[in-house]
Amino acid sequence: MRIWAFPTIYPYKHSGSKSHGIFAHRQYKALIKSGAELQVVIPILWNPPFPFYLLHKEWKQYAAMEYPAKRIYDGVTVHHPRISNIKPNRLEKKSYIERYIESVVTFFKDNNIVLDPANDIFFSQWLPEGATAQMAAHRLGLKSALLSIGDDVVVEPYRSEAHRQHFVKAVTEADWNLTVADYLGRETNKIVGKTLDYDVVHMGADYNNFKPGTPEEVAQIKKEYGIPADKIILLNAGSAIVRKGWIDIFDALKEIKKTNDNFAIVGVYGGPYDINVAEEAAKRGLADNFIDIGEVVPEKLNALYKAGDIFCLPSHWEGIAVAVMESMATGMAVLTTNVCGHPELVTDDVTGILIPPKRVDLLTEKLRLLISDAELRQRLGRNAREFMMKEWGSYDDIAVRLYKLLQDGLKK
């Protein structure tokens, strides 16, 4: 089977770029390991050559990124067809969706790629490009599998009536609806107003990589990052936005610090931003307790998990947080909210602690307990790692089932 993957974002090692899209990459690598022939297609907006791209800021932006027509990232072939992008916009006679589809159709034609409906499939995330990639698949006579991961279900359809209609069209016309959490499948059916079939295909965590560190490793990591060796270490990793619960954590720790100062919180965060994480910590008298790491490339995040005692992610909503999976695989005690797919991952007081979102009082209570109770932290961490290894699985484990689902679907 040949899979044409259409992620919304994908890693690109270029000056000034970040490692966005690493979770899609890990899934694709696992599919290839399972036997799939997989290539990535990410259409991007066209820009003219120098000096003409200097005439418009959007042209300059894409020229600066220097996307090649084809590249190899960590063994995966990535293609970047160009979407027509004439300026001024009024000169474009077709919608963005029409131009996107044309770029995909033209890509296969120009590269003399003969597609076989019995062997080729499009595999994409939902909105906005995922739904458009599906239209391109159907234009080419191919089947399409759509994977929902979070905001594409709990946020995007509510932005406007047009977004909702786009969403409904995508999921009702999909050949397969896949989702990383059962919650997202149920929510999709609520939005659509009918019962659509879907398969749950979890994201995984590489428990052979994300694993507890030796005492020597932990000591070295703490020294490298300036993390105190004599404190209980909390960690949060997520975008610097309110819904990731940063302010809730700081409000809780402000209260805890009145009676117990034996902690430090390590902040790992990147864009998009709607708060200054370090400033919010300082406002609450936590400047001395806050280790400001900022953005970390995914390859180095495991080290910080090893250095932590408690992973705390009090999200206001999530699809299902990969950082929670990784911290559980590392054997950390996890405290998170019972939103969206998290109850499918965390069993309260067994593999972690779940609380309702935006309940700073309960967050304070549970954090205070975890900071003071080493035995509880160790029990939750052991159970979490065992669950990830024996029941949830890694990307490789889960890709075996995903690959079979796609193979079986092509035969129908």
| Tens digit of each residue's pLDDT (9 = 90 or more) over 123-145 | 998 777 889 999 999 999 999 99
Q: Do domains 2-204+395-411 and 215-392 have the same CATH topology?
A: yes
- Map tokens 């089977």 to a residue: 1
- Map tokens 């075996």 to a residue: 400
Q: What is the pLDDT of residue 265?
A: 97
| Tens digit of each residue's pLDDT (9 = 90 or more) over 336-393 | 999 999 999 999 999 999 999 999 999 999 999 999 999 999 999 999 999 999 999 9
Q: What is the pLDDT of residue 407?
A: 92
Q: What is the pLDDT of residue 164?
A: 93
Under CATH, which architecture does the 215-392 domain have? 3-Layer(aba) Sandwich (3.40)
Burial (CB count <10 Å: 0-12, 13-18, 19+), residue 222: buried
The domain segmentation of the chain, as residue ranges, is 2-204+395-411, 215-392
Q: What is the pLDDT of residue 18?
A: 58
Q: What is the pLDDT of residue 15?
A: 59
Average pLDDT over every residue of 190-207: 94
**What residues have CB less than 8 Å from 110, skipping those under 6 apart?**
none
| Tens digit of each residue's pLDDT (9 = 90 or more) over 255-310 | 999 999 999 999 999 877 899 999 999 999 999 999 999 988 877 889 999 999 99
| pLDDT mean across residues, the chain | 94
CATH, range 2-204+395-411:
3.40.50.2000
Q: Read off the pLDDT band of 409 (50, 70, 90).
A: confident
Average pLDDT over every residue of 192-199: 96
- pLDDT reading at 16 higher than 70: no
| Tens digit of each residue's pLDDT (9 = 90 or more) over 147-195 | 999 989 998 999 999 999 989 999 999 999 999 999 999 999 999 999 9
The number of CA neighbours under 13 Å toward the Cβ of 395 is 19
More confident residue, 409 or 280: 280
